[in-house]
Every structure is written in C-alpha cells, then in structure tokens.
C-alpha cells in the first residue's frame, strides 16, 4: 500500500519534473545566448590578445622565428630594463601610499563637517578624477614648463630657488608621482567616505563613553570596519597605477634619459614607436605578476562575500 | 546637548562645554585642511582656465602668470571655428555614444543572464568578468596592434588609423565593469517580482524590459556614465591605433597636433583641454550621485 502510494506520487512528481528539466534547459540556453556577446567580446579582445602577447614575446624581432626566452635574456642584460623595473615600483608604491593616506585624511575631514556642506566639498574634491587625465596632465605640463612655470614664479617671489621640474631626473620622478597622486587621491576619498558612512555611529558613542581618544577610535573602530574597502581600493589602485600610461607619456615621455619610464610607456616606445613588437610585448608582460597577485586576493574576497551572502 | 548642559549639574556643564569645544576645534581644523586640499586639487584646472583666457603675447610676457590682464576669448573662438578641433570633438562624441550603446546592450543582457537565469559555469563567468576588468589596456595594446595588422593582411580590412576601430576596442574597457555594476543591481531586485511576471505570462525578454530595466534604472545610468567617461578619456588606444589628424579623438588629438614645433600656443592648448573636459564635467555636475554610485558600486556591494 505504502509502496503503491509512493509509486504513484513518484509518477505524479516525475512528469512535472521532466517538464521542469526541459524548462530549465530552455532557460539556461536563453541565458547562455544572452551572455554570449559578453563571452565573445572578452574571449576575442581580452583573453586572446593576452595569451597572444605571451606568444609574441617568444618571437624574434621580425616575428618569424621562435627564440624562446632570448628576449627576456636580452632585457635582463639591459641596464634600462632594471631602471624601468625600479621606477615602476617606486612610482606605483609611492603614489598609492600617498593616495591612500590623503584619501583617508580628506575623507575624515569631509565626514567631520556638517552634513549640509559635505556635498559641496565632495563635489569640489572629486574634480581631478572627473577631468580626463590626458587633459589635466597637459595643465600640469604647463605648470611645470621650464621657462614659464607658474610654480617657479611663486617660488621666486618668496625667495626659493626655482626648480627644473621635468628636466632633472629626480624632480621629474617627483613630478610624475605628484600628478598621479593628484589624479588618484579623489577616488580613495570617495571610497573611504562611502565606507565611513557605513560605520554605525553607536560604536563611536560606546567608545566615547569608555573614554577612547580620537586616535583609539580610528585604530580600534574605523580601521577594522573599513579594512575590506581599504584593501580592495589599494589593490585596484596598485594595478591601475602600475599600468599607468597617460601621465608619464605626456609629462616626460620617459625622459630625461629614460629615467622616468614605467612599463607601459617603455613598452609603447619599444613596441609601437620602435617597431619591435616582440620586445614591447615582453616588457608589458612584466605587469602580469602584480596582476596575478591582485587576482588571488580579490578572488578570495569575492568568495568570502559569496559565503557570507 | 545644550539643554542637557543647562539642566545638568555645573560639573556636567563644564564637561559638556569642553566636549563642545573639542568638537568645534576639530571642525575648524577640518575646514582649514579641506580648504588647503581644495586648493591643491583645483589649482591645475583653474590655472588652465586662466591661461586659456590669455593671448599668446600675454602668455609669453613676463607678468604674473596667475592673473589675466587682458582677458580674451580668441582661443575659444579659434578652437570652435577650427575644422580640425571640431573633427576631434565629433569623433570623440560619436565613439563615446556608440560605445555607451554597445556597452549597455552587451552588459544588460549578460548581467540579467548572470544574476538571474544562471547556466552551467555562470558563477565562474561572473568572477571572470570582474577579473578581466583588471587586465590593463597597457598589456593588450601591443598584441592588438599585431592582430589588427594580421586582419589587414588576411582579410584586407584596414583597422589601423580609423577612428571607428575605437568603437570595437573600447567595449573591452567598459563592458566588464558595467556588467559588474549591473549584476549587483539586478541581484538586489526581489525574486517575487520576476515570479509574479512569470505567472502573468511574461517571457524573459519582457521580464528584462518591463521589470529589470525600470527597477534598476539608477544602476543603468551609473553604468552609462561610467562607459561614457571611460571612452571619452582613454588615451592609450587612440595613441597606438590612430595616426592621422582627421582620425583622432580629443585626448590624442590635443596632445599630438597642438603640441608641435617650438612655439606652443599654450592658451589654445589649455582651452582645448578644458573644452574637451567639459562633457564629463557637465555629466558629473548634473548627475553627481549616479556618478559616485557607479564609482563605489564595485567595492561596497555585498
């Protein structure tokens, strides 16, 4: 009796289930079709070129013969290459550290002022991020002009010797980093401000009752609560800054004597302007390690979020 | 706060008063530093504006560079009547608008499919989309350059030095993040809505156009703004793939054609840059909240 009952109910359930399966199949086919343009785009214009550049890096200059790792060996023996590695690291790390610090401080200042005025301040402070970097860098280029530098004009008035902003290797490095900080800090500011708003006010009130100083509030409440956003913003910015092109290209084109080249500008110079595509591909591949490193962290973060949700 | 201080004991009043003083001091310092940072952040655009109002003679004269003695609009007039600059502007506008349309079609469909319909491997794909956003263009331009040359050799289609080629490659910059934004917005729409639509006999396409797109409109606007600003501002691809002046978009055009020879016409360069920055600035001014929503969507979602 019980068997029969189970059987009939099983049969009853079976029919809708097979219908459901067909339904699901149709549903997933439609879903796949909808995602297809995305898959095709990414496969042909992102994944394929990325893999192709590994292949290109193993060819000789005329792209006819396979030369294995000879290009890499050639690079490792060049002094300029190591200079570019060093400069890329200095450029990216210094800029990201300062962007993060400035963003963090300014976000606090904005958060401190009455809510009514916050919009206005935020609006003004985000402008460097909104102007296309190629165009604002031209403005900086003019501010750094060797004979008409408006900064030097001020320096002269207050008795500081004028600076050769883009002519001297050290000042040129300083200048490209300064412009990058100027352009990128507002992004951190916006991210941190959004994060600050999401920290519950009660935590600070509880801390105030316990007699915490402002420093303790930042160290024990703000930083732990914002840890996720801080780390993901820094990772993001590290990738973007490492791969930066516009600022260095416009300000110095890598000069004086290649001292300010970073991977992207040097790869452009070798690959597009110099016509040595394999060597250019080789140089740009050195951005891969930082990418892989970031990908691991971000994947972990996404998985964690998936588990929480 | 004040009421508490008045009714409380004198001791409490002193304490509250000192706290209020602390807060006021913090506020004053916040304003001071905010003011300094605003100066730092706004100096370049303001100086660009000042320079753009000067004639070449005044730019070259030994006067206070931070002040305009004889303001003139001649730079702007000559830019707006120069066929070359207007070509840059038109190329930029066409490229950006078409890229926005393409991006929205691809990413809305994909996000709907990835957020709601699911298929084999869709979760992996969603993560993969986000990771491709991290592959910088500076890694891709050299292989793309070679691929374009290959396409030219085999199919006879010349892809180098045409402004429309940017329409093909800019979506690689915009689609991954736009999809990511949209997945977040679509996933936050309650499931009951699409169940109700299914019961009423709506197809998937109707579900998307009648429910998802209207409900997630803020996300769509944010993604559109993102796509527009990215394609308006990109510099590397036009530098690598376009060479003649009539095929250039604004950023590359200004940098390569106006900076020529020994005499830079700085007033004109600054005017050209500012005019070129105007569309994103206007969008930002009028749609600031959407702009910021698009920026922070990647990090604060979830």
C-alpha B208 chain-centroid distance = 26
Q: Are residues A90 and A189 in the same domain?
A: yes
pLDDT at site A26: 72
* B105, pLDDT greater than 80: yes
How high is the mean pLDDT in each 10-residue block of chain A (309 residues)?
Answer: 44 52 69 85 87 82 74 81 87 90 89 82 88 90 83 83 81 90 90 84 85 83 82 82 87 80 86 82 82 76 59
Tell me whether residue A64 is in a domain. no
Tell me whether residue A62 is in a domain. no
CA distances from A49 to A34, A97, A285, B156 (A): 24, 32, 12, 20
In the three-class reduction of DSSP (H, G, I as helix; E, B as strand; rest coil), residue A66 is classed as strand
Chain A partners of B118 at a C-beta cutoff of 8 Å?
28, 31
CA distances from A3 to A9, A11, A17, A71, B164 (A): 10, 12, 20, 74, 70
Tell me how far apart the alpha carbons of residues B296 and A233 are, in angstroms, rounded to a whole number: 10
The pair of structure tokens assigned to B211 is 């429910």
Q: Which CATH number is A261's domain given?
A: 1.10.3720.10
Render pLDDT for A204-262 as a digit per residue (tens, 0 to 9). 888 888 888 878 888 888 888 887 778 778 888 888 888 888 888 888 887 778 788 88
Q: Are residues A160 and A219 in the same domain?
A: yes
pLDDT at site B243: 83
In the three-class reduction of DSSP (H, G, I as helix; E, B as strand; rest coil), residue A59 is classed as strand
Tell me how far apart the alpha carbons of residues B58 and B71 are, in angstroms, rounded to a whole number: 9
Chain B partners of A225 at a C-beta cutoff of 8 Å?
none
In the three-class reduction of DSSP (H, G, I as helix; E, B as strand; rest coil), residue A188 is classed as helix
Out of B30, B143, B280, the one facing A132 most closely (by C-beta) is B280
Please state the rounded mean pLDDT for residues B255-281.
Answer: 81
Tell me how far apart the alpha carbons of residues A297 and A303 are, in angstroms, rounded to a whole number: 10
pLDDT at site B8: 43
Q: Are residues A146 and A199 in the same domain?
A: yes
Tell me which of B146 and B261 has the higher pLDDT: B146
Place of tokens 């200079």: A83
The pair of structure tokens assigned to A158 is 């207050």
Domain tally, chain A: 2
- Which residue from A240, A215, A292, A46 is spatially nearest to B298, judged by alpha carbons? A240
- What CATH superfamily classification does B76-300 receive? MetI-like (1.10.3720.10)
Chain A nearest C-alpha distance from B278 (Å): 8
Q: Are residues A199 and A280 in the same domain?
A: yes
Length of chain A: 309
C-alpha B76 chain-centroid distance = 24
Tell me whether residue A61 is in a domain. no
Chains A–B, number of C-beta pairs less than 8 Å apart:
294
Render pLDDT for B118-127 as a digit per residue (tens, 0 to 9). 777 778 888 8
| Helix-then-strand count for chain A, H and E | 16, 0
- Which residue from B180, B175, B208 is spatially nearest to B103, judged by alpha carbons? B175
Rounded to the nearest 5 percent, the helix, strand and coil shares of chain A are 80, 0, 20
* B1, pLDDT greater than 50: no
Q: Are residues A9 and A84 in the same domain?
A: no
Asked if A271's CB is within 8 angstroms of B145's CB, the reply is: yes
CB-CB contact of B108 with B186 (8 Å):
no
Q: Are residues A52 and A75 in the same domain?
A: no
Instruction: Read off the DSSP letter of residue A57.
Output: T
pLDDT band at B102 (very low <50, low <70, confident <90, very high): very high
Render pLDDT for B134-187 as a digit per residue (tens, 0 to 9). 788 888 888 888 888 888 888 877 878 888 888 989 998 889 888 888 888 888
Tell me how far apart the alpha carbons of residues A273 and A268 are, in angstroms, rounded to a whole number: 7
The pair of structure tokens assigned to B227 is 């796509």
- Which residue from B66, B299, B112 is spatially nearest to B205, judged by alpha carbons? B112
Q: Break chain B into its structural domains and give their ranges.
A: 2-52, 76-300
Residue spans of alpha helices (H) in A201-276? 201-209, 214-217, 223-242, 246-251, 263-268
CB-CB contact of B185 with B191 (8 Å):
no
Render pLDDT for B60-69 as a digit per residue (tens, 0 to 9). 777 777 888 8
Q: Are residues A254 and A211 in the same domain?
A: yes
Instruction: Read off the DSSP letter of residue B262.
Output: S
Q: Does A20 touch chain B (CB under 8 A)?
A: no
Asked if A30's CB is within 8 angstroms of B295's CB, the reply is: no
Chain A nearest C-alpha distance from B86 (Å): 16
Q: Are residues A100 and A16 in the same domain?
A: no
Asked if B138's CB is within 8 angstroms of A264's CB, the reply is: yes
Chain B partners of A289 at a C-beta cutoff of 8 Å?
none
Which residues in chain A (259-298) have CB-CB distances under 8 A to chain B?
A: 263-264, 267-268, 271-272, 277, 280-281, 284-285, 287-288, 291, 294-295, 298
This complex has an ipTM of 0.82
- What CA dihedral angle connects B193, B198, B202 and B208, to 10 degrees? 50
pLDDT at site A102: 92
pLDDT at site B3: 42
Asked if B135's CB is within 8 angstroms of A291's CB, the reply is: yes
Q: Are residues A79 and A31 in the same domain?
A: no
Q: Does B3 touch chain A (CB under 8 A)?
A: no
Out of A34, A45, A191, the one facing B112 most closely (by C-beta) is A34
Chain A partners of B125 at a C-beta cutoff of 8 Å?
35, 39
Render pLDDT for B43-98 as a digit per residue (tens, 0 to 9). 999 998 988 888 877 777 777 778 888 888 888 888 888 888 888 889 999 999 99
pLDDT at site B7: 43
Structural domain boundaries enclosing A48 = 1-56
Identify the closest residue of chain B to A189 by CA–CA distance.
Answer: B296
pLDDT at site A78: 82
Chain B partners of A191 at a C-beta cutoff of 8 Å?
295-296, 299
Q: Are residues A48 and A107 in the same domain?
A: no
* pTM over 0.95, yes/no: no
CA distances from A277 to A44, A45, A63, A127, A285 (A): 20, 18, 8, 37, 12
Tell me whether residue A45 is in a domain. yes
Q: Are residues A12 and A90 in the same domain?
A: no
Chain B nearest C-alpha distance from A248 (Å): 12
Q: Does A64 touch chain B (CB under 8 A)?
A: no
Render pLDDT for B5-36 as a digit per residue (tens, 0 to 9). 444 444 444 455 566 777 788 788 888 888 89
Asked if A140's CB is within 8 angstroms of B44's CB, the reply is: yes
* B263, pLDDT greater than 80: no
How many other β-carbons are positioned within 10 Å of the β-carbon of residue A304?
Answer: 12
């Amino acid at each position: 009796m019980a068997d029969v009952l189970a059987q009939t109910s099983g049969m009853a359930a079976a029919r809708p289930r097979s219908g459901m399966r067909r339904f699901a199949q149709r549903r997933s086919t439609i879903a796949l079709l909808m995602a297809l343009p995305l898959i095709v785009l990414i496969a042909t214009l992102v994944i394929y070129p990325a893999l192709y550049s590994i292949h290109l890096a193993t060819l000789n200059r005329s792209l006819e013969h396979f030369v294995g790792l000879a290009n890499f060996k050639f690079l490792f023996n060049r002094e300029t290459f190591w200079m570019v590695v060093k400069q890329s690291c200095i450029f990216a790390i210094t800029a990201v550290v300062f962007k993060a610090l400035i963003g963090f401080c300014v976000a606090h200042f904005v958060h401190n002022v009455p809510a009514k005025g916050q919009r206005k301040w935020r609006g003004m402070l985000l402008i460097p991020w909104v102007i296309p970097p190629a165009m604002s860098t031209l403005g900086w280029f003019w501010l750094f002009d060797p004979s008409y530098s408006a900064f030097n004009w001020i320096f002269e008035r207050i008795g500081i010797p004028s600076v050769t902003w883009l002519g001297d290797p050290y000042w040129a490095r300083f200048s490209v980093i300064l412009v990058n900080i100027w352009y990128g800090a507002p992004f951190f500011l916006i991210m941190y401000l959004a994060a600050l708003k999401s920290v519950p006010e009660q935590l600070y009130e509880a801390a105030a009752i316990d007699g915490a100083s402002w420093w303790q509030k930042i160290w024990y409440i703000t930083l732990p609560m914002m840890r996720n956003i801080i780390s993901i913003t820094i990772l993001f910015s590290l990738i973007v800054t490492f791969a930066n092109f516009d600022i260095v290209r416009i300000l110095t084109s890598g000069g004086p004597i290649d001292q300010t080249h970073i991977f992207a500008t040097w790869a452009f110079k070798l690959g597009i302007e110099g016509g040595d595509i394999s060597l250019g591909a080789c140089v740009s591949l050195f951005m891969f390690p930082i990418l892989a490193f970031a990908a691991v962290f971000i994947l972990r973060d996404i998985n964690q979020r998936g588990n929480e949700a | 706060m004040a009421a508490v201080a008045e009714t409380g004991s004198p001791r409490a009043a002193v304490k509250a008063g000192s706290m209020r003083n602390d807060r006021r001091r913090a506020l004053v310092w916040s304003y001071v530093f905010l003011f300094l940072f605003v100066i730092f952040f706004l100096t370049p655009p303001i100086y660009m504006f000042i320079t753009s109002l000067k004639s070449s003679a005044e730019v070259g004269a030994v006067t206070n560079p931070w002040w305009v003695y004889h303001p003139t609009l001649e730079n702007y007039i000559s830019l707006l009547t120069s066929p070359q600059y207007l070509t840059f502007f038109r190329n930029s506008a066409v490229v950006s608008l078409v890229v926005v349309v393409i991006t929205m079609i691809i990413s809305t469909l994909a996000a709907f499919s990835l957020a709601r319909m699911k298929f084999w491997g869709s979760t992996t794909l969603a993560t993969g989309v986000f990771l491709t956003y991290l592959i910088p263009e500076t890694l891709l331009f050299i292989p793309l350059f070679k691929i374009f040359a290959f396409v030219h050799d085999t199919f006879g289609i010349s892809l180098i030095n045409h402004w429309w080629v940017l329409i093909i490659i800019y979506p690689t910059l915009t689609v991954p993040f736009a999809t990511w934004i949209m997945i977040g917005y679509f996933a936050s729409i309650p499931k009951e809505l699409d169940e109700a639509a299914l019961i009423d006999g709506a197809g998937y396409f109707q579900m998307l156009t009648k429910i998802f797109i209207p409900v997630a409109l803020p996300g769509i606007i944010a993604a559109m703004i993102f796509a527009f600003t990215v394609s308006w501002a990109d510099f590397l691809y036009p530098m690598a793939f376009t060479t003649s002046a009539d095929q250039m978009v604004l950023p590359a055009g200004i940098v390569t054609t106006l900076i020529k020879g020994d005499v830079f016409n700085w007033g004109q360069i600054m005017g050209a840059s500012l005019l070129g920055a105007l569309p994103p600035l206007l969008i930002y001014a009028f749609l600031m909240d959407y702009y910021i929503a698009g920026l922070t969507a990647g990090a604060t979602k979830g």
